[in-house]
Amino acid sequence: MSSKRAKTKTTKKRPQRATSNVFAMFDQSQIQEFKEAFNMIDQNRDGFIDKEDLHDMLASLGTIQEDYLRELLTTMGDRFTDEEVDELYREAPIDKKGNFNYIEFTRILKHGAKDKDD
């Protein structure tokens, strides 16, 4: 029986796959940056970037938290006073979640505020 089995069992070896070795293109610091970026996008920390993670990431582009921006403006560089920040925020595009939309803000600086009728 073993001789019959040996004759019928003709296993072909699969050709060895060529590895892409894509990670050899990057040094350790670049790989670490990729990992950090992945972890920033993977909001629910499940090891996968799913639809909700992408939605949250894309929704946050072009915004910064109002409180964090206030802190930066009053503690770094040419420090603003609280009154100056309040004046800046008076017409600033800030949503209900407290996100300052700096893309819209730069549009306002370049072209002026939209009329409420528009």
Average pLDDT over residues 62-87: 92
What are the residue ranges of helices labelled H in the chain? 2-8, 28-41, 51-60, 66-75, 82-90, 102-111
pLDDT classification of 100: cutoffs 50, 70, 90: very high
Query: Domain spanning 63-111 has what CATH number?
Result: 1.10.238.10
- Give the Cα separation of 20 and 71 in Å (integer): 46
Model pLDDT, residue 30? 93
What's the pLDDT score for residue 83? 96
The answer to whether the beta carbons of residues 93 and 105 sit under 8 Å apart is yes
Mean pLDDT, all residues of the chain: 84
Each residue's pLDDT tens digit, 17-56: 677 777 788 999 999 999 999 998 898 889 999 998 888 8
**Average pLDDT, stretch 56-63?**
82
Q: Is the pLDDT of residue 81 over 80?
A: yes
Instruction: In the chain, list all ranges with CATH 1.10.238.10.
Output: 63-111
